[in-house]
Amino acid sequence: MNLDLNGKRAIVTGGSQGIGLAIAHGLAAEGVDVVIAARSAEPLEAAAREVAQASGRRVIAVPTDTGDDDAVQELVRRTIAEFGGIDILVNSAATPWSAGATKDLSATTDDVVRREVEIKVLGYLRTARAVAPHLVAQGWGRIINISGLGARQANSIAQTVRNVSVSALTKNLADELGPYGVNVTVVHPGLTRTERLTKRLAEQSAASGRSVAELEAELAKNSVRRVIDAREVADVVTFLASPRSIGITGDAIAVGGGVPGPVYY
């Protein structure tokens, strides 16, 4: 299927590694010119070179802290100056959720929740607010927010709050921007094979003597009984970023290999 993405222009936040980097690769492979944004300049530049070499597209690194509205405004200005416009925003900049992070009520301080909301919720709001007028003016655009299956499970107060909040943000944006040709969706990855997970399992393998494949198989509690790769999340996001996704907006798309048991409708 031709996704009709050739020549589109995208911003991918959190694009220096993990799911964000995989999404940048996926979009560029379909002919999209991409600005990738993250806080640390050196790994961001390396990621931009990697995506550009693999795809042949223009890929520009713009160091950005999405916790800073001025920095976000500059990110959008730079994108328009370099590419002449903006068509797609993928929000993927968030502090990775740690397996050892705070879960119980007594340890969930105000600051713990503020930290999670500041980047993953308010950060997404800032970028959407900066990009939306340009998408509306041209009568077409896509915003995809990367959240997580933590939105559907009471695993941690802070984790659930931040992910559910991204879903609420998405639906509000979709209803407001839909009449102007702008679709907004939220993608919920589950446990995903990224550089971070690969490194963690390699360390566990070295310490325990068990193979990485065995350790990964134990983690795969989803319906397909295997860990979904970041590239497979990127495949779904790339479709949602395309004109072919016109029939999907305001909804959550789970990309975790299926959750056994519950019925979501």
Q: What is the CATH number of domain 9-192+230-255?
A: 3.40.50.720
Q: What is the pLDDT of residue 159?
A: 87
Domain parsing of the chain, residue ranges? 9-192+230-255
Task: Report the alpha-carbon distance of residue 175 to residue 187 in Å, rounded.
Answer: 17
Task: Report the alpha-carbon distance of residue 228 to residue 61 in Å, rounded.
Answer: 27
Task: Report the alpha-carbon distance of residue 213 to residue 202 in Å, rounded.
Answer: 10
Tokens coding 123: 């950060």
Q: Is 150 a residue whose pLDDT tops 90?
A: no
Interaxial angle between packed helices 69-83 and 123-138, expressed in degrees from 0 to 180 and rounded to the nearest 10: 30
Please report the DSSP string for 103-133 in residue order: -SGGG--HHHHHHHHIIIIIHHHHHHHHHHH
pLDDT digits (tens, 9 = 90+) for 204-254: 888 898 998 998 999 999 999 999 999 999 999 999 999 999 999 999 999
Q: What is the pLDDT of residue 98?
A: 57
Residue 216: CB atoms within 10 Å: 18
Binning pLDDT at 50, 70 and 90, where does residue 43 land? very high
pLDDT digits (tens, 9 = 90+) for 75-133: 999 999 999 999 999 999 987 765 556 778 988 899 888 988 998 999 999 999 999 99
CA distances in angstroms from 243 to 86, 122, 185, 198, listed in the order given: 14, 27, 13, 33
- Global confidence as pTM: 0.94
Q: What is the mean pLDDT of the chain?
A: 94
